[in-house]
């Protein structure tokens, strides 16, 4: 295959990547009271990684991000099931959540919610699954 010149794409990716990842993290945190959440955030992050894959090749990317995405799924599942089952220890049903308000410096009154932990699980599972699928198809070429 002829080697194509990806200079524009690669340069743009270097900047865009951070914008996309930052926005996905914003989406993730916004998810509790506004549209957003772990699923969308995770998809957007994996979208950023896919952009990297398009701009560079699979070897470079796996050197830069040396994750085994199947294990990312595992960690995510542990987060999600752990939070879900946490309520059982306090005699509450599965998936019962708990929240409180704290005054943080700079941010002011902030709510802390165990649902965020659950959402981190969802976020990781989505990234893991999407990237595993894309890698499986991409690697065999």
Partner 1 sequence: MEIVMSLLIGILFMSATYLMLSKSLLRVIVGTGLLSHGAHLLILTMGGLKTGAAPLLGQNAESYTDPLPQALILTAIVISFGITALFLVVAYRSYQELGTDNLELMRGKEGNE
Partner 2 sequence: MNSLIVLPLLIPLFTGTILIFFAKNTLTQRWISAAGSILMIIVSLWLAATVYNEGIQTMNLGNWEAPFGITLVSDMLSALLVVTTSLIGFVCLLYSFRYIEKEREEHFYYPVFFFLLLGINGAFTTGDIFNLFVFFEVMLMSSYVLLVLGGTKIQLRETIKYLLVNVIASALFVIAVGYLYSVVGSLNMAHISVRLAEMGQSGIITVIAVLFLIVFGAKGALFPLYFWLPGSYYAPPAPVLAMFGALLTKVGIYSIARTYTLLFNQDVGFTHGLLEVLAILTIIVGVIGAIAFSDIKKIIIYNIIVAVGVILFGVATFTQESLAGSIFYIIHDMNIKAALFLLIGIVIKITGTSDMTKMGGLIHRFPALAWTFFIAAAALAGIPPLSGFPGKVLIISSGFANGNYWGAAVVLLSSLFVLFSAMKIFMNVFWGKPETYANQEKVPVKWLLASPAILTVFAVLFGFGTEALYPVIMNAAETLSNPEIYINAVLKE
137 binds, among partner 2, partner 1, none (CB under 5 to 8 A by kind): partner 1
- Strands, E assignment, the chain: 99-104, 108-113
State how far the Cα of 109 lies from the Cα of 57, in Å rounded to an integer: 45
Rg (CA), the chain: 18
Which of residues 77 and 134 has its CB atom nearest to partner 2 in the complex?
Answer: 77
Say how many residues touch partner 2, by CB under 8 A. Answer: 17
Size of the chain, expressed as the number of residues it contains: 141
Cα-based distances in Å from 109 to 27, 29, 101, 112, 118: 20, 15, 7, 10, 22
Which of residues 11 and 96 has its CB atom nearest to partner 2 in the complex?
Answer: 96
Q: Contacting partner 2 (CB under 8 A), which of 97, 114, 117, 134?
A: 97
- Report residue 105 as tokens: 């410096």
Nearest to 82 by CA among 90, 70, 94: 94
User: In the bound complex, what is the minimum distance in angstroms from residue 26's beta carbon to partner 2?
Assistant: 26
81 is a site residue for partner 1 (CB under 8 A):
no
45 is a site residue for partner 1 (CB under 8 A):
no
Which 31-90 positions form the footprint of partner 2 (CB under 8 A)?
70-71, 73-74, 77-78, 81, 85, 87-88
Q: Which residues bind partner 1 (CB under 8 A)?
A: 39, 129-130, 133, 136-137, 140
């Amino acid at each position: 295959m002829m080697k194509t010149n990806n200079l524009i794409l690669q340069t743009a990716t270097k900047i865009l990547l951070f914008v996309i990842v930052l926005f996905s993290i914003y989406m993730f945190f916004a998810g509790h009271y506004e549209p957003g959440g772990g699923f969308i955030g995770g998809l957007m992050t994996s979208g950023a990684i896919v952009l990297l894959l398009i701009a560079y090749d699979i070897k470079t990317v796996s050197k830069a991000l040396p994750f085994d995405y199947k294990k990312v799924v595992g960690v995510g599942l542990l987060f999600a099931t752990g939070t879900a089952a946490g309520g059982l220890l306090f005699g509450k049903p599965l998936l019962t959540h708990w929240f409180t308000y704290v005054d943080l410096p700079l941010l002011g009154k902030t709510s802390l919610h165990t649902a965020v932990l659950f959402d981190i699980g969802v976020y990781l599972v989505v990234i893991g699954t999407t990237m595993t699928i894309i890698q499986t198809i991409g690697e065999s070429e």
